[in-house]
Chain A
Amino acid sequence: MVSQSQAHWPTVPISARDVDGPLFFTDDEWTLVRAATARIIPTDYDPGAAEADVVRFLDRFLSGDFVYASATGDGFLEIRGKEAEAWQARIRHRQSVYREGLAALKALSLDKYAKDFHELSDDEQDALLVETSGRPKPRHVQLHDDEIFNSGEGGPPPTNQPVSDAGLGFFDMLVAHTRQGFYADPVYGGNKNFVGWRVIGFDGPKSLADTVAGRYTTTDYMIMGATWPYPQSPRVQRFGR
């Protein structure tokens, strides 16, 4: 009998970049998702979702074969046992959220502007996303005003609980997945050439294999050799304010 244990899930030697086009989306959906994600993380003097290939990340996730990269990134795990059933159900649900949400967005675009979403101006596209989200467009953070955030869209940082897409409607799911596609390891099909990490200054691993082998380190961004009590350490006093 084949083991169903997670410890023995085999690696299927596939890559999120094996083929250029979509595995799940239709060509029209691919074009629409590419345009919508480009407004969620827009391109400015730095790359955005379009350059990161976020649409590919999304398509590969929804195809169902790209859930868990192998540890070294040489393929994706073949999920077995009850976990396989759970993931198949989860993926089917996410597929239906996208199919319906994208159809509605396309219909909204044709209804309001008599054009497809990707043919609209940035402002027109944003207006449709605002309408779809049901909330105002997010405003910039002002560091030096007195407003105290104690609730809001971002939510608290992750703790020992997953940041899950369960229960999200189409727009919030699209936003969550766009962020994942921009910032997750490139093995998942987005974050092409690490553009997402470069935009925010995260000097992440060049490959998952580097993290497994212990070749990836962040010591360049630490204060190595500082002695306790730290405020008296010469290496720390250089940072005195």
Chain B
Amino acid sequence: MIPRKKPEPVEVLIIGAGASGGTAAKVFTEAGIRVVALDRGPFLRNEQFSGDELKYLNRNYVWPDPQLKPRTYRPDEESPEEEVQFSPTPQGVGGGTIHWGGIVPRMTEDDFRLRSLHGDIPGASLVDWPIEYGDLEPYYTRVEWELGTSGLAGANRWEGPRSKGYPTKPVELTHYGRVFAQAMKKMGQSTFPIPQAMVTEPYRGRNPHVNSGFWQQYGDPVGAKSSTANTFIPDALATGLLDLRPDCYVREIVLHPDGTAKGVIYTDADGNEVEQLADIVICCAGAIETTRLLQLSKSATHANGLANSSGLLGANATFHEYLFAIGLFDKEVVDPLYPWAGHYMNTMSFDYYQTDYGRGHMLGTLIFASMLGHPVNWTFPGRPTWGQASKDTDRDLFNHSMKLGVMVQDLPVESNRVDLDPNVVDAWGLPVARITHTPHANDFAQAKWQVAKNMEILEVAGASKIIPVNLEKITGNCCHEMGTARMGNDPSKSVVDKWCQTHDVPNLYIFDGSFFPTSTGVNPTLTIMANAWRCTERIIHVRGKGRTAD
């Protein structure tokens, strides 16, 4: 057997150098604290990305290879599992911020207190967050400015008070964004420029976005898309205090006899087994992989998985689901929409975000205009697939089609969970994550109402044929992974406290989207990053005083 390598112990060990791990690495190292960051995937640089639809959309260049890293899904405990490519968030330095669309709205003030506002909802495990908008606001601003974002401050009138605007100007308008905005105006509704994790002007040595259209699902060769791989990670490396180790697959978190975290065991890029000891271990691998790792780290004292005395590790999983109404426009009467121009999505509305019980459901979500795909993958339900009908459809409608997206604000349900599949293993021989999920009745109602509303908007916009894509089941097509280690004050009802410290293991933290007590109706990554910054500062503050708690 190859002897186990044991490098020098480190103060802070981060598992997963994506949105939350990259943020924590930056904040720790800039405060003078040494960090080892492990990521199971590669560190791809800007110049390794390109506008190559086939490579990204069809051949998984940045998405996990499903033969090597399968996942399974079942709607409920009675149903058999099937292997699916569920939530294929890139596994590599930068994580989800490599392929993301970079929609970065802030949570609204109400998003933090849904239980107080709506009470007990049957079948759901609705809770308030143990923090408020005001706790995160300074960190939203820091992330917006340090990461590099664009937007029009004040345009979203549902947003809480902000201490500062965006560092670069809003993105430019596209034709599909235009027809959405014009239709909304006719309906007496409002739209605004999407806040984006993108620099639209020269910013801190970075070039502005060039509107190549290759955006969501692609890495950005120009580097105008703000990922942690081209911002926070280089910032942390520049301090000389970050030891970044890509292609290192953590298999287990190991403990000291007193029950505190000792470090991790991982397989490095050359196949060696390595034990890395650390004072603090922070899980940043995403809600699915972090849950899996903690459950793989079972021991006599943690028989249900590490940090799982509540039994809630993996429970209350939420994923949003990306649905839409599709509009097909008559080229004889409507100007081309050029849906491949810009950067996939353009123009947003929050008008249907707030609960209106008159609609027959609670909660709502943002909506936005977007493309149906680049040429290879452009499609819609009912599109003829071959022959003259297919060719005519592509030719007549590729430039005369668009969609209005819905991101379902799904309710937390305790039985919706992530655990280890009992039968399927990955290419390294370890059990894979299994997702068990059935949407709450409110999710179906919300999705149905909003898709129908989006169809109405497209009709006002002049679409000739309008096609719904409704909620049937969740597929993880947003790559938004949340809720599996919910944040709360009561250790019997949550996995981490309000500082993302696990209730059970004092030097073990979870910074990725696992902590979300509720899914919210906004894209989660800005909040994940702001919260990672907040919690990292707290660790620095408390440890700087030689304490282990406040």
At the interface with chain B, which of A26-34, A100-108, A113-121, A150-158? A150-158
Q: Judge whether A166 and B66 touch: CB under 8 Å.
A: yes
Asked whether B125 is an interface residue with its Cβ less than 8 Å from the other chain, the reply is no
Q: Which residues of A contact B301 (CB under 8 A)?
A: none
Q: Judge whether A222 and B173 touch: CB under 8 Å.
A: yes
A223-238, CB < 8 A from B: 223-226, 228-231, 233, 235-236
* B 486-529 binary contact with A (CB < 8 Å = 1; else 0): 00000000000000000000000000000000000000000000
Q: Judge whether A230 and B88 touch: CB under 8 Å.
A: no
Closest approach, in angstroms, between the C-beta of B402 and any C-beta of chain A? 10
At the interface with chain A, which of B253-261, B277-285, B382-390? B382-390
Q: Which residues of B contact A141 (CB under 8 A)?
A: 328, 382-384, 389, 393, 397, 465
Mostly helix, strand, loop or mixed at chain B's interface? loop
A59-74, CB < 8 A from B: 67-69, 71-73
Residues of A in contact, count (CB < 8 Å): 98
Q: How many inter-chain residue pairs (CB < 8 Å) link A and B?
A: 326
Among A137, A187, A218, the residue within 8 A (CB) of B341 is: A218
Q: Judge whether A223 and B185 touch: CB under 8 Å.
A: no
B292-346, CB < 8 A from A: 322, 324, 326, 328, 330, 335-336, 338, 340-342
Among A86, A183, A204, A241, the residue within 8 A (CB) of B68 is: A86
Q: Judge whether B381 and A155 touch: CB under 8 Å.
A: yes
Q: Which residues of A contact B89 (CB under 8 A)?
A: 160
Q: Judge whether A214 and B222 touch: CB under 8 Å.
A: yes
Closest approach, in angstroms, between the C-beta of B206 and any C-beta of chain A? 11
Closest approach, in angstroms, between the C-beta of A79 and any C-beta of chain B? 10
Task: Across the interface, name the chain B residue whose C-beta is closest to A145.
Answer: B465
Q: Judge whether A157 and B476 touch: CB under 8 Å.
A: no
Asked whether B475 is an interface residue with its Cβ less than 8 Å from the other chain, the reply is yes
At the interface with chain A, which of B370-378, B430-438, B536-544? B370-378
Task: Across the interface, name the chain B residue whose C-beta is closest to A177.
Answer: B58
Q: Judge whether B43 and A7 touch: CB under 8 Å.
A: yes
Docked pose: A184 CA to B61 CA in angstroms: 15
Among B175, B270, B377, the residue within 8 A (CB) of A163 is: B377
Q: Judge whether B386 and A231 touch: CB under 8 Å.
A: no
Asked whether B103 is an interface residue with its Cβ less than 8 Å from the other chain, the reply is no
Asked whether A15 is an interface residue with its Cβ less than 8 Å from the other chain, the reply is no
Closest approach, in angstroms, between the C-beta of A220 and any C-beta of chain B? 8
Q: Given A154-B379, A160-B217, A236-B181: A218 and B53 within 8 A (CB)?
A: no
Q: Which residues of A contact B475 (CB under 8 A)?
A: 161
B204-234, CB < 8 A from A: 207, 210-214, 216-217, 221-222
A-B contact pairs, 5 of them (CB 8 A): A41-B391, A163-B377, A222-B175, A226-B173, A229-B181
> Beyond the given A6-B41, A231-B184, could you list 8 further A-B residue pairs with CB under 8 A, ordered by the A residue number?
A86-B427, A126-B387, A156-B324, A160-B63, A160-B89, A218-B342, A219-B172, A221-B338
